[in-house]
Amino acid sequence: MIFTTTLQSARGSLFGSLMSKVRPLAAAGISHSPAVQSKTLEEQVGLPPRPKKPLTPYFRFMREQRPKLVAANPKITTIEVVRQLSKSWSDADAKLKERLQAEYKKDQEVYVEQRTKYDATLTDDQRAEIKQLKQDLVDAKERRQLRKRVKELGRPKKPASAFLRFIASERTNSPQGPKQTYREWHQKTTAKWTRFTDSEKESYMQESRKELEIYRKAISVWEEKMIRLGHIDVVRHGNLIDPPEPKSRKSHVAKEK
């Protein structure tokens, strides 16, 4: 067991190290796939893009050598390109590294000057907006990681609501027509559900309540297990875990009155 864990850890660290070198390939212009141009945070608030940091000597070397390597090996994968160029960089001539370092230092001086001028043009409101966008990205990344971790830990899935069960059944009973868009079909199906009486909805709601009870028991057992294992961060309060009870049409009408 210890050996297996150690082996998996070693593989993970090796893959992580390799991927950390693969991710910046688009910036170095050596990725096989076309780069997807996404707006920078500054562009999202209506500003021109900020000056780009110059490539380090290592990535300058990769940018220069990659065309030669790919020309000699057209079917080579991006990861293999990184692996071979990393080894070539380790064995590269000292004079070549000195040249690339000098180019980087020169471009870095220009970058610092341009970035200083660029930052001086930003207003306090623009800085605050950019800061908030950065925080939003961090928060979104943490949510994605938590969802992935929860899934890996085998958290029970929430049961479908009565409405979603109805939608699923209508896909079979009244499927989308050949000239009908999914949006049109969904709007028509939703309208049909809203016209249903409580008695017509009852069969779907019974199934939903039955599975909801099973889910509550399963999530309770899972949470207790997570606490014992020390995974406190994936355990949430009951009101955030349990889906809301479906509202009946009568109670909704009573509230409106």
135 and 78 housed in the same domain: no
Over 90: is that where the pLDDT of 117 sits? yes
pLDDT at residue 167, rounded to an integer: 94
**pLDDT score at 190:** 95
pLDDT of 201 strictly over 80: yes
pLDDT at 248: 54
Q: Are residues 144 and 76 in the same domain?
A: no
Q: Are residues 128 and 86 in the same domain?
A: no
- Tally DSSP H helices, then E strands, for the chain: 12, 0
80 inside domain: yes
- pLDDT tens per residue across span 145-163: 888 988 898 999 989 999 9
What are φ and ψ of residue 53, in 5° steps? -65, 145
Q: How confident is the model at residue 247 (pLDDT cuts 50, 70, 90)?
A: low
Tokens of 35: 């780069």
In a domain, 234, yes or no: yes
The domain boundary residue, chosen from 132, 153, 174? 153
SS3 of residue 116 by DSSP = helix
Task: Point out the domain boundary residue: 105, 122, 139.
Answer: 122
pLDDT digits (tens, 9 = 90+) for 90-105: 999 999 999 999 999 9
CATH number, residue 204: 1.10.30.10
Residue with tokens 């809301």: 244
In a domain, 62, yes or no: yes
Note the helical H segments in 73-197. 78-90, 94-120, 124-152, 162-173, 182-195
Q: Return the pLDDT at 182.
A: 92
Tell which wins on pLDDT, 109 or 223. 109
Same domain, 85 and 59: yes
pLDDT at 36: 47
Q: Which distant-in-sequence residues (6+ apart) come within 8 Å of 248 by Cβ? A: 198
Residue 36 in any domain: the answer is no
**Domain for residue 20, yes or no?**
no
> Is the model's pLDDT at 14 over the cut of 50?
no
Q: What is the pLDDT of residue 234?
A: 82
Split into its structural domains, the chain has a count of 3
Instruction: pLDDT band for 231, please (50, 70, 90 cuts).
Output: confident
Domain that holds residue 144: 124-153
Of residues 15 and 30, the one with the higher pLDDT is: 30
**Same domain? 118 vs 191:** no
Q: What is the mean pLDDT of the chain?
A: 82
In a domain, 18, yes or no: no
Residue 16 lies in a domain: no
Note whether residue 141 is domain-resident.
yes
pLDDT-wise least confident of 20-34, 79-93, 166-180, 236-250:
236-250
Helix (H) or strand (E) holding 204: helix 198-229
237 and 175 share a domain?
Answer: yes
| 52 shares its domain with 116 | yes
Q: Are residues 227 and 184 in the same domain?
A: yes
